[in-house]
Amino acid sequence: MSTSKSWSGEREWLAGRRAWIASAVGLLLATSLACGPGTDVSHEDVLESTAQPATAVVPLFDSSTSLEPALVVDTPTALITRLADRARDRHARESQFQSYEHYLPLYFENRTISIEVLDRVAKGGSDITVNITSLWPLDTPDFRAFYLGQGVLTNYYFNVDMTQVDSLHYTATINYNQKANRPLQVGDRMEIEISQFLQPTVSGRANYYGTAFLYVVGQGGMVPWEGIGANLDSSPLAQTAWLGGRTTLSYSYSNEPQHLFKQMATNLAPVNAQPFVEGRRLHHTDFGDGSHSEVGNPVFTSQQNKLGPRFAARSCVGCHTNNGRALPPGASTAAVNVQFFANNAAWADLHYSINGGGQQSFRMAHDASNNNTYTVRDIPGGATVQYHFTIANASGGAVDTAAAQFTVSGGGSGGTSSYGYSVLSPPLSYVIKVGQVSGTTVTDHPLLGAALQSQSTSGSPEGNVSISSWTTTSGTFGDGTAYELRRPNYTFTGTVPANYSARLTPPLVGMGLLEAIPESSVASLEDPNDSNGDGISGRMQVVTDPQTGQQRLGRFGWKAGKARLSQQIAIALNQDMGVTTSIYPTPDCGSSQTCSAAGTELSDAELDKLVRYVSLLAVPARRNLGDAQAQQGESLFTSLGCAKCHAPTLTTSAYHPKAELRSQTIRPYTDLLLHDMGTGLADNLPEAGASGAEWRTPPLWGIGLTASVSGGEAYLHDGRARSLTEAILWHGGEANTSKESFRTQSSANRAALLKFLQSL
């Protein structure tokens, strides 16, 4: 069980590592948001369809695209795997703490590491070396290998302090499988965990644990795992469970289902570790006051005062709760956001506690008007909040205000004109697309632009919308069981658009993989004229790339209106938050409105971090693989025709810039095509080439986790379906035959199909 260094000299290893990192960083900087042509660094072979789309589109990626370094490198002496990790609160299997999947304060500061596994056993050698590179000096990090889990679910057979090479590089070598009491051999299941113990003077907490990764000796790359037996020993998941290829998340045993859509891809590259967490910080930042949605994180001062002037949400996470699908607003709000203010002061600190808990203190965001604000999010309805301020005075000192308290409700404000609080209206979970339609031409609404923005930083907002009632219809299954469907009726305040489309935010997982699907693969599924006579006539949405002017395959949005993930994020920043980028520098504004000047508020580098965060979120694994009812449901999914649109398996391009997304076999259950879903689901606002009745097939991966992640269930573009059963029953148009087949099935068969969907 040697822990000696495995190279002939530290200088050679460091030189090689620095060269690799320099190459990776150079590629990251060279790969623009538009991912234009560049140097061909390395390519991986993959079988892809050679079918050509009915309408010519320009591929996003091809053989000229610059590629980030491969994650698995086969050399004559070792099979090398490279990946990244983040600091964690507790161990993977400690369900009693529920503290493994969440993110601790300051997660974006010096708390990611790069990992390199040199597997010499794969080449006939006898040992494996694990090297790590940190961003902050560590106090001899712990390296654990070969899970034991006896007595407690946290111990390993092999547990050593790593050898320090220099202040940021550490290494350990293992040559024996204590679990099997023999030397290492190909096929051994080696779970590893690396604990980061940061040296003193680091800001915030210093001691952390790491992700439990499973490495199969001789194979290269980490694999998603499941826990077997009473001690939850790690074993590779069957590849049919790898919904997101090697990005797929291992099964979770920490009892934190609400966090499952927030995780790093299992195969995250070292070059993307820090951009991922910094992108997550932007995702959770209020673009008005710069506050973070999670307590304990500092104000992001460089992101203050970018909000608006008109907007619908203050942050990305304001609509994308837990990165899951949004729910329609109910009659009451379970949790609210409260904005505290202290006006006409050079600075101010807020001190508050909730329900008698510990006091929290934060420096408030200061703006150009000499006012200070800080937003506290997700305060439970009915909670008692105690607060006071420390406010700078004109003489250079400060004064503490008297303590005050209030009980949280759905609205209201308190305090004085100089300081106090205001309960914010909940963000509009819907995106309300608007426009004017003349024949086949759609233009921006003169008084609203392209989207309804229900809030403003100054002056009056454009208006608002609410669900005033539900129209219900009744029906029966083939066995006589009754069901009820509902659709929302909307009431607008302010300008009432004649043409609009209400859309709830979808889940964020897997979006990078959808971008990586080759256009040729989507084209092979297209049948716009229903030439095979099966009633399905899916077609590609073709959109104009706003950065290049080229014709592209539309992939993102309910009607596939955007070609690139960066463009989808940029339009959300623009229309939902009023934050401009180089892609969409002009604020959303109608021809009869007073419009702000064009500009770039979020830089390309910042947008790139947001894109890397969203594109590299792990896809949860499929569950209940051995369940007979779920297996029956999977067969019904095909025989009822569901798989004709919800295509189970696709392969991503070999040319996507990000190594994590290249050449992955994925199971998204979408064809990315537009389908006519009938008048029941139609809106009256066409988008690009899509009619009101046409919708892009939404992916189904992760759909079985909706209730756990989102805190409830709501499906389809406007959340009208309260269950998967209702979602199926709303299918019409091209999907009507499949819907009727489901409706007339026995209750046992219907339950089996639902069990399969819930396993995704």
Q: What is the DSSP letter of 487?
A: E
Report if residue 514 sits inside a domain.
yes
Whether the pLDDT of residue 21 is over 70: the answer is no
Query: Does 621 fall in a domain?
Result: no
SS3 content of the chain, % helix, strand, coil (to 5): 20, 30, 50
Coil, strand or helix at 712: coil
Q: How confident is the model at residue 270 (pLDDT cuts 50, 70, 90)?
A: very high
Provide the CATH number for the domain around residue 343. 2.60.40.10
Task: Say whether both 144 and 226 belong to one domain.
Answer: yes
391 Cβ contact partners less than 8 Å away, ≥ 6 residues apart: 342, 345, 347, 348, 349, 372, 398, 399, 400, 401, 419
Average pLDDT, the chain: 90
Query: Would you state the pLDDT for residue 365?
Result: 87
Regarding whether 585 and 561 lie in a shared domain, the answer is yes
> Can you give the residue range of the structural domain that contains 328?
282-423
Q: Is the pLDDT of residue 8 over 80?
A: no
397-410: average pLDDT: 90
**Predicted confidence band of residue 426 (pLDDT cuts 50, 70, 90):** low
Whether the predicted pLDDT of 24 surpasses 80: no
Q: Return the pLDDT at 26.
A: 42
Query: Are 7 and 125 a contacting pair, CB within 8 Å?
Result: no
CATH of the domain at 197: 2.60.40.2140
The partner residues of 749 in beta bridges, in order of sequence, read none
CA atoms within 13 A on the CB side of 525: 25
Q: How many CB atoms lie within 10 A of CB 183?
A: 12
What's the rounded mean pLDDT across residues 720-726?
A: 96
Q: How far apart are CA 92 and CA 214, in angstroms?
A: 12
Dihedral over alpha carbons 96, 98, 101, 104 (to 10 degrees)? -120
Q: How many CB atoms lie within 10 A of CB 638?
A: 12
- Report CA-CA distances (Å) from 714 to 194, 429, 432, 506, 727: 39, 12, 17, 10, 9
Shared domain for 197 and 227, answered yes or no, is yes
Compute the distance between CA of residue 347 and CA of residue 389 in angstroms, rounded to an integer.
10
Secondary element (H or E) of residue 27: helix 10-30
pLDDT digits (tens, 9 = 90+) for 53-77: 456 899 999 999 999 999 999 999 9
Is 408 a residue whose pLDDT tops 90?
A: no
pTM of the predicted model as reported, rounded to 2 decimal places: 0.86
Q: Are residues 544 and 665 in the same domain?
A: no
pLDDT at 499: 97
Is 620 a domain residue? Answer: no
Closest CA to 542 of 524, 525, 559, 518: 559
Mean pLDDT for the stretch of residues 80-100? 96
Confidence of residue 334 (pLDDT cuts 50, 70, 90): low
**Residue 140's pLDDT band (boundaries 50, 70, 90)?**
confident
Residue 496 lies in a domain: yes
Distance between CA atoms of residues 659 and 252, nearest Å: 25
The separation between the first and the last C-alpha atoms of the chain, rounded to the nearest angstrom, is 41
Shared domain for 133 and 221, answered yes or no, is yes
529-545 pLDDT per residue, tens: 999 999 999 999 999 99
- As a whole number of angstroms, the distance between CA 354 and CA 407 comes to 10
Q: Per-residue pLDDT for 255 more than 80?
A: yes
- C-alpha separations of 595 from 494, 567, 581, 598 in Å: 18, 22, 16, 9
pLDDT bin (cut points 50, 70, 90) of residue 589 is: very high
pLDDT at 11 exceeding the cut of 50: no
The least confident of 28-42, 395-409, 482-496, 719-733 is 28-42
Q: Show which of 423, 455, 483 is a domain's final residue.
A: 423
Judged against a pLDDT cut of 60, whether residue 18 lies above it is answered with: no
Task: Name the residue type at position 313.
Answer: A
Residue 413: pLDDT band (50, 70, 90) is confident
Look at residues 393, 423, 453 and tell me which one is the last residue of a structural domain. Answer: 423
Q: Exposed e or buried b for every residue in 506-516, given b needs 16+ CB within 10 A?
A: bbbbbbbbbbb
Residues 126 and 241 in one domain: yes
State whether 315 and 333 are in the same domain. Answer: yes
Euclidean distance between CA atoms 144 and 160, whole angstroms: 7
The rounded radius of gyration (Å) of the Cα atoms in the chain is 27
DSSP β-bridge partners for residue 544? 551
What is residue 101's three-state secondary structure?
A: coil
Peptide bond into 497 cis (omega under 30): no
Shared domain for 44 and 184, answered yes or no, is yes
Q: Nearest 5°: phi and psi at 142?
A: -80, 135
Q: Measure the CA–CA gap between 150 and 157, rounded to whole angstroms.
A: 10
Q: Using CA atoms, how far apart are residues 578 and 307, in angstroms rounded to an integer?
A: 6
Residue 154: inside a domain, yes or no? yes
Give the number of other Cβ atoms within 10 Å of residue 595's Cβ: 15
- Side chain identity, residue 407: T
DSSP state of 519: H
Is residue 52 situated within a structural domain? Answer: yes
| Residue indicated by tokens 């100054």 | 458
d(C-alpha 202, C-alpha 211), whole Å: 21
Residues 412 and 443 in one domain: no
The CA-atom distances, in angstroms, between 377 and each of 323, 366, 579 are 16, 19, 21
Which residue in this structure is represented by tokens 């205000």? 401
The pLDDT of residue 253 is above 80: yes
Q: Is the dihedral of CA 565, 566, 572, 575 positive or negative?
A: negative
Pairwise CA distance, residues 195 & 87, whole Å: 8
Check pLDDT > 70 for residue 46.
no
Tokens of 17: 């590592």
Residue 621 dihedral angles phi and psi, to the nearest 5°: -75, 155
Residue pair 595/449 in contact (Cβ under 8 Å)? The answer is: no
Residues 491, 570: one domain? yes
The mean per-residue pLDDT over the stretch 119-145 comes to 97
- Does the residue 264 lie in any domain? yes
Q: 158: how many CB neighbours lie within 10 A of its CB?
A: 20
Stretch among 457-471, 607-621, 734-748 having the lowest mean pLDDT: 457-471
Using alpha carbons, list the distances in angstroms from residue 483 to 637, 704, 721: 21, 21, 12
The enclosing domain of 654 has a CATH number of 1.10.760.10
Please say whether the dihedral angle defined by the alpha carbons of residues 61, 67, 68 and 71, taken in this order, is positive or negative: positive
Claim to verify: residue 542 and residue 641 sit in the same structural domain: no
| Residue 499 φ then ψ, to 5° | -120, 120
**Amino acid occupying residue 459:** G
Return the exposure string of 273-296: e unless at least 16 CB atoms fall within 10 Å of the residue's CB, then b.
bbbbbbbbbbbbbbbbbbbbbbee
Give Cβ neighbours of residue 740 (< 8 Å, ≥ 6 apart). Answer: none
Q: Is the pLDDT score of 495 beyond 50?
A: yes
Question: With 90 as the cut, is the pLDDT of residue 623 above it?
Answer: yes
The answer, yes or no, to whether residue 20 has pLDDT greater than 50, is no
186-232 per-position pLDDT tens digit: 999 999 999 999 999 899 999 999 999 999 999 999 999 999 999 99
What's the pLDDT band for 39 if we cut at 50, 70, 90? very low
Residues constituting the chain: 760
* Cα 401 → chain centroid: 41
239 and 160 in a common domain: yes
Interior CA angle at 757 toward 752 and 760, to 5°? 135
For the residues 319-348, what does the mean pLDDT come to?
82
Q: Which residues make Cβ contacts (< 8 Å) with residue 306, sequence separation at least 6?
A: 287, 288, 577, 578, 579, 601, 602
**Average pLDDT for 425-438:** 82
Please check whether residue 622 lies inside any domain of the structure: no
Average pLDDT on 592-606 reads 95
Average pLDDT over residues 303-323: 94
Q: How many percent of the chain have pLDDT more than 70?
A: 91
Question: HEC string of 306-349?
Answer: CCCCEECCCCCCCCCHHHCCCCCCCCCCCEEEEEEEECCCCCEE
In this structure, the dihedral spanned by the alpha carbons of residues 33, 39, 44 and 47, taken in order and rounded to 10 degrees, is: 70
CA–CA distance, 446 with 261 (Å, rounded to integer): 38
Assess contact for 484 and 473: CB atoms under 8 A: yes
Among 372, 395, 423, which residue terminates a domain?
A: 423
Q: Tally the C-alpha atoms within 13 A of residue 187's C-alpha that lie toward its C-beta.
A: 1
Distance CA 167, CA 135 (A): 9
- Per-residue confidence (pLDDT) for residue 14, from 0 to 100: 38
Domains held by the chain: number: 4
Q: Rounded distance, CA 587 to CA 307, Å?
A: 11
Q: Highest mean pLDDT range out of 150-154, 308-312, 629-633?
A: 629-633
**380-389, 519-528, 540-549, range with the lowest pLDDT:** 380-389
Cα 323 to Cα 306: distance, rounded to the nearest angstrom: 22
Buried b (16+ CB within 10 A) or exposed e, 317-342: bbbbbbbbbbbbbeeebeebbbbbbb
Contact assessment for residue 689 and residue 541, using Cβ atoms and an 8 Å cutoff:
yes
In this predicted structure, what is the pLDDT of residue 16? Answer: 41
